[in-house]
Structure 1
């Protein structure tokens, strides 16, 4: 099949018209670069777009993970005058619009050739819809399952052990409480018993033979199947979380980050107290480090897989970090622990933010990260709650429990923020009175990372030595507060050393472990600063009532009593409620409890074209009583409805629903306002409606695959009114799959990173359908994913070709 002709947008005069918000993909190349195709001979170095933008909107350029081309972003005003030029996208870069009006956007290749993703709009409008990210890491062949309670089950319901046996799975953790961890012993048997075809959706390809099944794809299909069973309340993969940092090894004992958040002034009021305990749930700790002597309480190792643990066994009471990469180990937990509470005023090394606070080391991250099953168990234990021991017995919770939990770890995997295993554990810890703090992530993205994005967690973004948002720091509705995370490629002091965060560390480069100090950067480093400040606040309230609770800490934040404002005057998606200020925090803690304040989570919502409902949680924190005077929908959003569905009084869970019936295709935004006597909370709600009359995902190559994932037919179609019309004739009876993709780089390969992708029936799943007579209504969506680059599977990309 011949490639479709390209439409030129190589100059401002030929600029392609866009409306904001927009997400699109493109391809640029220098002459002679890239795969053989229409543009490789003469080159296509620039793409121009014309769009009306408001002040504060953002233009973001993102490259695939494996990009080799150099690209930059250029922003011009309506006269064609250059307003701003970005640095190289590596892998992303963004420009902010200062003045409203018509703008021209140029994506320019400086070397090589490659695809790109361009995202235009406000941070809220560009927010990635919640839901499962197929690129999220999880343990192949393992699932976490919670059965419905006995009251909700039908008579004769199966026991947990019978449930596992019936589906050909092995129970790895004997059931205790609400969930069980299962291993799929024989994938074909489990798929068969769930009535799922044994061919993996990732096994597509042309040729005479079927490709090998993809364990990740099959595990996800098992999860989908389990979620359809009548006695299953919840099923999910066993997601993997990883440390969130970018390490380096410069050494210099100068902690600029303490000065930035006014810790010396706070220490004039309190230097912390040894009765306050911060659990560092991480890679474990080096207990022999001289700057951690006398600072540790008993901890635990919850890594259940001996191979991942790399210490010769599974779960045990020794949280010592054996290293995660022999000869080049990160000793990430030791660095985090030192930020929280390295020995204070002892004449050596560094000082921890929490002064005389003590550390509870809890190990969950090994050589290959950590799983939700292990992390959830660790969270419960640190909070003083009994937890399954993995052998059918209960492990008593830590005594004394932690006052604060720090998790400088995270991952994108989430199915349901209310009932996922880790979400339940975090909520239980908060209910037990523990303040839970987590790093927001280092992807420079609005994609939520968990556990930070759970409503029960304080999510911490990072700033540099000048108090500006670090370029790597995640942003979005879930950010609560900012703290120093450091930047290793700058010296803003200037003091001749990189502006990373300095803390305790170790090195196993020589075989043994040498104790040291070094700089790291990341939100992993920002979160423990907040944990240390929270520990000082706890110490300041010793002997006072009430004690510092998670609700009060949230109220202090929402009332801007413990932060220095950054960004907008109120909360924003880059700094949350501002930069943590240790002095203001301790002063506030020594004073009366914070006044009552209302908070809502999430602070913004984005629903894709298939989502019809979403949830908001309205909370009251602080002392006093708030009365809700009304809930209003504005912005002309007659399509938006909201009702309270759960909770005490005016607070609790609100469910919103949307009616797209009368809406034209495109992106629509409305607002929900919760109005109190002296406070109003407004939540923007953005929805997608298909089709958009002007929408285009380039020429689409719609491909029909048989049950063996061999190509039966392929058609190239262009959009008409935002819709691609396709048909196949003379199709024999049988089972088939549908997929579609663009080919911007003309390499005759579909599903490359940066290309538009679509699968029937939804973007997250490829499910077969049966043809016995004429079929209509096989509608599905194709388009460019926002972030990160989505790839259905290596075997898919290797097999899907344009003919």
Structure 2
């Protein structure tokens, strides 16, 4: 008999009993090649009549072709009977299955994602993002359970990973249709975000960018805290007015976590329950995702970008136990700290940071227990490239925090790039206090960012110098952990990360004296009582690493003065808060096409008893773009409606909303991106016209086109069955290609697919069914496209 490898054939066996034989007869094959089997393997004889049994002889696809002399052996006890059986196994046969368009293919010709440049002391030269993830905000603020599970844009599918604390916002991840390399390229994600933002019902979309750390009591090391002395912050005099113990103030430190299990006697007692918001185990360094354990973890090796116990150092500056005869002093003697962990190995993702910021202020975040101790002050010594106008989720989250009943005040580090802080987030956002760094001379630290977005300056140190001659570098001394010795420690760090917690601690002192102070009032007091830096001091020269020339205003209002600030709050004689206001925009960025309109809410945040109407104007609108405010003037909120005419040129425009009331003028930045009108949707993609190839690959891995074949799918739809018939024995690579652009070349924009089984094997031996696979838009592939293209062209030409 003859069998096809991978097939089977019936075999009838007759057993004739003699001499009253009854019982089970066991069957087996002798001399059979590997992969040849017989079933069933037993026949039951009862009675005197012959028994006919229908057997099945089968050969696996891997059975070598050839002719074999087999013996069918029947055994019952000591009785043995045999029968010869000639078997021929033939190779080859058919390969069949279904070929489909992958889920990332929606239109007939999806544009490939463009490759981009991807790439603290200082930040990476370009923004970085979590590969393949976008933060998407929907209009109408749908509830978390109402967020769509899948979004489709530009030929790509994005699946909802999790809802966020921002109403109507979620983290979406590219599901298919894009190469792993493109997933990691920020420019590609930004292009995809722009396409998602243009979808109906979407308020904004942005990559999930990564942010980085922006690094006379009787306490034992207080003498090394030069930044507290009368020539700098003069904290001893401030503590005579308020030491932070009048009433409890909760400060949240959104950073790398806290020393909790690794107990630090000068720090651990000040912590309240916190939370670890890092979603990615490989970043968290603790083996899991989000959990209620915000322990500060350090990288395993020195070369990794770990935390350096950054958050613990920041927390120590704010609230280390003071006047306890141990270690260092915190700015506030009575503040308690809620540690909120967002920074791990390599930094932290925006989606985690924004959820953490909201949670710290008492806002509900899906899937996380509510914060039992909403913060009155929030410190964020972290940041990344790109202005706030490009990441609207930040501004929305900040606005929501500022609106909480306990009036939280957010303090952020300006950044360490010796650059304009307006280029970075969150320093460039409105509704936060942005802090630059000074060194021992009360000059701007050489690394500190500067510019119009700086509000005030505070000590951030300079570890390249020892100007006070105490034998230690002039950094900021605070609490960390000694990994090598396994014990609590203190270390000098430099950075605007160290400057911001000085201000956060001062704000905690102010809130201890007057808990009703809000962001605008605190900012007004800090700026109104600060000591301006001269042009030379703001520049920072002489210093070997300073390479800019600045003016006094580039360092904001100057060095914070906690004594005068507390006096202004009511701790003694001094200037009181004057009437003032700030403008906040939500969103701070709009993307519109010609013929479209968009709206921005403008909030007037009053302080110092300000109650005058504010006249609003729009500055910097390009030709074809108009805007109007309603109401105008405004006393609380107004809505700006922007209209983009058909003749408006594409591009990114920096607009300014200006508010004027008497002698006061305040401004807020608005980013407008004018994009091309959405093209008509492409026709539905179809599998018709796809070539399916059976490429014969010999033992040396070379193509034999004489044994290869192909068919062309004529059926419309997203999938179609195929059969490659009468194939020779051997192994085949099964591939499919659709020439979408019709240029007869396998190139970007075409659809390509190759069958690979669950074990990663590419080769298929006929006969074989169920060889199902899908195509993807060709934007990069792990296959050698040049070789595959050559093989397919050779088969098409034969």
TM-based fold match above 0.5: yes
- Who is 1:596 aligned against? 579
- Who is 1:619 aligned against? 604
- Who is 2:414 aligned against? 440
Counterpart among 651, 655, 661 of residue 676 in structure 1: 661
Q: Tell me how far apart the structure 2 counterparts of residues 291 and 647 of structure 1 sit (CA, whole Å).
A: 53
- Who is 2:361 aligned against? 383
Q: Is the 8 A contact 1:406 1:531 kept in 2?
A: yes
- Who is 2:244 aligned against? 272
- Who is 1:331 aligned against? 309
Q: Tell me how far apart the structure 1 counterparts of residues 469 and 381 of structure 2 sit (CA, whole Å).
A: 28
**Offset from partner CA, 1:1-44 (integer Å, 9 cap, x none):** xxxxxxxxxxxxxxxxxxxxxxxxxxxxxxxxxxxxxxxxxxxx
Q: CA RMSD in A?
A: 5.1
Q: Which runs of 5+ in 1 are unaligned?
A: 1-63, 67-89, 93-132, 189-197, 204-212, 246-250, 390-394, 663-667, 688-732, 737-766, 769-793, 796-803
SS of the residue corresponding to residue 160 of structure 1 reads coil
Shift, 1:520, TM fit: 0.6
Q: Is the 8 A contact 1:554 1:621 kept in 2?
A: no
- Who is 2:558 aligned against? 578
Matching of residues 448-459 of structure 1 within 5 Å? 448-459=423-434
Are positions 1:178 and 2:168 aligned together? yes
Q: Tell me how far apart the structure 2 counterparts of residues 174 and 656 of structure 1 sit (CA, whole Å).
A: 29
SS of the residue corresponding to residue 294 of structure 1 reads helix
Shift of the 325–646 alpha-carbon distance from structure 1 to 2, 3 Å rule, reads: farther
Are positions 1:552 and 2:521 aligned together? yes
Shift, 1:173, TM fit: 1.6
Q: Tell me how far apart the structure 2 counterparts of residues 306 and 672 of structure 1 sit (CA, whole Å).
A: 42
**Offset from partner CA, 1:140-185 (integer Å, 9 cap, x none):** 1111222232899xxxx9951254899544432257742121222x
Are positions 1:141 and 2:108 aligned together? no
Are positions 1:345 and 2:304 aligned together? no
- Who is 1:161 aligned against? 149
Report the TM-score, using the length of structure 2 for normalisation.
0.57
- Who is 1:36 aligned against? none
Q: Is the 8 A contact 1:418 1:424 kept in 2?
A: no
Counterpart among 486, 500, 509 of residue 536 in structure 1: 509
Shift of the 642–280 alpha-carbon distance from structure 1 to 2, 3 Å rule, reads: same
Q: Is the 8 A contact 1:417 1:423 kept in 2?
A: no
Are positions 1:563 and 2:543 aligned together? no
SS of the residue corresponding to residue 564 of structure 2 reads helix
SS of the residue corresponding to residue 580 of structure 1 reads coil
**Offset from partner CA, 1:299-322 (integer Å, 9 cap, x none):** 111111111111121111111112
Q: Tell me how far apart the structure 1 counterparts of residues 264 and 411 of structure 2 sit (CA, whole Å).
A: 24
Shift of the 405–648 alpha-carbon distance from structure 1 to 2, 3 Å rule, reads: farther
**Offset from partner CA, 1:72-94 (integer Å, 9 cap, x none):** xxxxxxxxxxxxxxxxxx999xx
- Who is 2:28 aligned against? none
Shift, 1:409, TM fit: 0.3
Shift, 1:683, TM fit: 8.8
Shift, 1:655, TM fit: 6.0
Shift of the 320–630 alpha-carbon distance from structure 1 to 2, 3 Å rule, reads: closer
Q: Is the 8 A contact 1:377 1:388 kept in 2?
A: no
Shift, 1:378, TM fit: 1.0
Q: Is the 8 A contact 2:118 2:186 kept in 1?
A: no
SS of the residue corresponding to residue 561 of structure 1 reads helix
Q: Is the 8 A contact 1:300 1:318 kept in 2?
A: yes
- Who is 1:130 aligned against? none
**Offset from partner CA, 1:230-270 (integer Å, 9 cap, x none):** 1322221111110012xxxxx99511111211211111112
Shift of the 496–646 alpha-carbon distance from structure 1 to 2, 3 Å rule, reads: farther
Counterpart among 329, 338, 342 of residue 364 in structure 1: 342
- Who is 2:462 aligned against? 487
Are positions 1:303 and 2:303 aligned together? no
Shift, 1:430, TM fit: 1.2
Matching of residues 72-471 of structure 1 within 5 Å? 135-149=126-140, 160-163=148-151, 168-174=157-163, 177-184=167-174, 186-188=175-177, 215-245=185-215, 254-259=224-229, 260-273=232-245, 275-287=248-260, 288-326=263-301, 330-389=308-367, 395-413=368-386, 416=389, 419-420=392-393, 422-432=394-404, 433-446=407-420, 447-471=422-446
- Who is 2:752 aligned against? none
Report the TM-score, using the length of structure 1 for normalisation.
0.56
- Who is 1:7 aligned against? none
Q: Tell me how far apart the structure 2 counterparts of residues 675 and 219 of structure 1 sit (CA, whole Å).
A: 39
Q: Tell me how far apart the structure 2 counterparts of residues 231 and 682 of structure 1 sit (CA, whole Å).
A: 29
Shift of the 614–258 alpha-carbon distance from structure 1 to 2, 3 Å rule, reads: farther
SS of the residue corresponding to residue 387 of structure 1 reads coil
Q: Tell me how far apart the structure 2 counterparts of residues 682 and 175 of structure 1 sit (CA, whole Å).
A: 30
SS of the residue corresponding to residue 480 of structure 2 reads strand
Shift of the 572–457 alpha-carbon distance from structure 1 to 2, 3 Å rule, reads: farther
Q: Tell me how far apart the structure 2 counterparts of residues 143 and 233 of structure 1 sit (CA, whole Å).
A: 13
Q: Is the 8 A contact 2:615 2:633 kept in 1?
A: no
**Offset from partner CA, 1:661-693 (integer Å, 9 cap, x none):** 99xxxxx99999754334345899999xxxxxx
Q: Is the 8 A contact 2:415 2:449 kept in 1?
A: yes
Q: Tell me how far apart the structure 2 counterparts of residues 371 and 299 of structure 1 sit (CA, whole Å).
A: 18
Q: Tell me how far apart the structure 1 counterparts of residues 655 and 287 of structure 2 sit (CA, whole Å).
A: 56
